[in-house]
């Protein structure tokens, strides 16, 4: 892959004077293709992926003052219809939809709400994801498990059933002891219970690594997101580790990047006027928070793979694009809520 763009180029990427380069840029979809054998598992009906259209949010606007500063941002007095809603998205089969990559050229816009009601919800809130459109279609719920030594979140396609054994369990997010590295699994079996050809074993959908930053509490976080690559049919290459040394984190640490893609959060730019770190969320984020982030590929920092940010005390927007699916995006967002991060 081409070398990462130099950091000064990235810092200017939000200036509205800069011409949009996306017409000449190669299709972002090619950034995520790694080949990979087409899966030999059950063939689902394939819908032809829609052709990548430029998302309507590519037009540069004056950067929103979305500082990454800790603490309450000033509430913006802008009218409510600032946040563009999600395009019409049909969710026929929820289980299929939440694991399917976003269609090319479509940004799937969601809203994450955090519910802290009840006895132990302060420690173990439940998070819900809905499509951010008129119908507010429910997609996923997530909650931290209580008796785990490390942070362990269950992700379910039923807002009322967050049990590990239930049939609505769709994935989980697990952290290391330090709480700085996370792995996202689907609902397949543990490698101990593999069938003869391993087709029932759980896939790793993503890994997230947080670096404590040199500024300690003051500066923005650094995140690295590792995901499986896509094959020629634009399907995720299945990564089914047989043991702990074969997962996405170990492959990334050992620089074994076959069928693996590395993404990172876009570095915010210091803004002298507001005295804070700023990212342009195009009106989708209204509150300052250390948790606001955008995930990009270093070869094309203008293509936002995912963005997440606060819009109210317990509400966040979560927008994701190809090649992510809802479970990957939600799990990445959940990792950013985790309390143990030494990078607050």
Are the C-beta atoms of residues 321 and 306 closer than 8 Å to each other?
A: yes
pLDDT for residue 264:
95
44 compared with 279, residue with greater pLDDT: 279
More confident call, 334 vs 212: 334
Neighbours of 71 (CB within 10 A): 10
> Is 70 exceeded by the pLDDT of residue 335?
yes
- What pLDDT, on a 0 to 100 scale, did the predictor assign at position 88? 66
Mean pLDDT across the chain, nearest whole number?
A: 77
- pLDDT at 60 (0 to 100): 36
Which of 308, 273, 315, 282 has its CA nearest to residue 294? 308
Residue 25 has pLDDT above 70, yes or no: no
Residue pair 260/226 in contact (Cβ under 8 Å)? The answer is: yes
pLDDT band at residue 201, thresholds of 50, 70 and 90? very high
pLDDT at 222: 86
Q: What per-residue confidence (pLDDT) applies to 17?
A: 42
Looking at residues 17-45, what average pLDDT do you find? 57
Better-predicted residue by pLDDT, 76 or 160: 160
- For a pLDDT cut of 90, what percent of the chain falls above it? 41
| E strands, the chain, in order | 66-67, 108-115, 126-131, 138-144, 152-156, 169-175, 181-186, 204-211, 222-228, 260-265, 269-271, 276-279, 293-297, 300-312, 315-320
Give the pLDDT confidence score for residue 26 in this predicted structure. Answer: 62
Cis omega (within 30 of 0) for bond into 323: yes
> Nearest CA to 271 among 42, 2, 73, 18?
73
pLDDT at res. 213:
61
pLDDT at 245: 84
DSSP string, 254-278: TT--TTEEEEEEPPPEEETTTTEEE
Point out the least confidently predicted range of 23-27, 66-70, 216-220, 261-265.
66-70
Tokens of 208: 């997230």
Q: Determine the Cα–Cα distance for residues 155 and 297; give it in Å rounded to an integer.
A: 26
Model confidence at 15, pLDDT cuts 50, 70, 90, reads very low
Topology given in CATH for the domain delimited by 94-337: Tubby Protein; Chain A (3.20.90)
Return the closest-CA partner of residue 66 out of 56, 75, 54, 53: 75
pLDDT of 219 above 70: no
pLDDT at 332: 95
Q: Are 293 and 27 in contact (CB under 8 A)?
A: no
The predicted pLDDT at position 62 comes to 38
What is the pLDDT, as a whole number, of residue 187? 92
Strands 152-156 and 293-297: unpaired
What does pTM read for this prediction? 0.76
Average the pLDDT over 66-95 and give the result: 55
Q: Which residue has the higher pLDDT, 65 or 317?
A: 317
Provide the pLDDT confidence category of residue 119 given band limits of 50, 70 and 90: low
């Amino acid at each position: 892959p081409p070398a990462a763009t130099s950091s000064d180029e990235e810092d200017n990427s939000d200036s509205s004077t800069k011409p949009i380069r996306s017409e000449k840029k190669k299709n972002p979809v090619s950034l995520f293709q790694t080949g990979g054998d087409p899966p030999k598992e059950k063939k689902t009906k394939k819908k032809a992926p829609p052709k990548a259209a430029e998302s309507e949010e590519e037009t540069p606007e004056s950067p929103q003052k979305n500082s990454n500063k800790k603490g309450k941002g000033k509430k913006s007095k802008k009218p409510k219809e600032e946040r563009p809603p999600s395009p019409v998205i049909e969710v026929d089969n929820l289980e299929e939809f939440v694991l399917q990559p976003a269609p090319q050229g479509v940004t799937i816009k969601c809203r994450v709400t955090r519910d802290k009601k009840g006895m132990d919800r302060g420690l173990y809130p439940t998070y819900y994801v809905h499509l951010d459109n008129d119908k507010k279609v429910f997609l996923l719920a997530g909650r931290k498990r209580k008796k785990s030594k490390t942070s362990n979140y269950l992700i379910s396609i039923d807002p009322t059933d967050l049990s590990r054994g239930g049939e609505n369990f769709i994935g989980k997010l697990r952290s290391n002891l330090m709480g700085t590295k996370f792995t996202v699994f689907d609902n397949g079996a543990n490698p101990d219970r593999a069938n003869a050809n391993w087709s029932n074993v759980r896939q790793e959908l993503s890994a997230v690594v947080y670096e404590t930053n040199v500024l300690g509490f003051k500066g923005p976080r650094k995140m690295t997101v590792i995901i499986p690559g896509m094959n020629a049919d634009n399907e995720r290459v299945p990564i089914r580790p047989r043991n702990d040394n074969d997962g996405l984190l170990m492959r990334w640490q050992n620089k074994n990047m076959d069928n693996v893609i590395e993404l990172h959060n876009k570095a915010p730019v210091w803004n002298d006027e507001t005295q804070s770190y700023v990212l342009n969320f195009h009106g989708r984020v209204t509150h300052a928070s250390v948790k606001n982030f955008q995930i990009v590929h270093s070869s094309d920092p203008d293509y936002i793979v995912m963005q997440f940010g606060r819009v109210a005390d317990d509400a966040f927007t979560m927008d994701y694009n190809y090649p992510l699916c809802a479970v990957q995006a939600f799990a990445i967002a959940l990792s950013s809520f985790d309390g143990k991060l030494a990078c607050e």
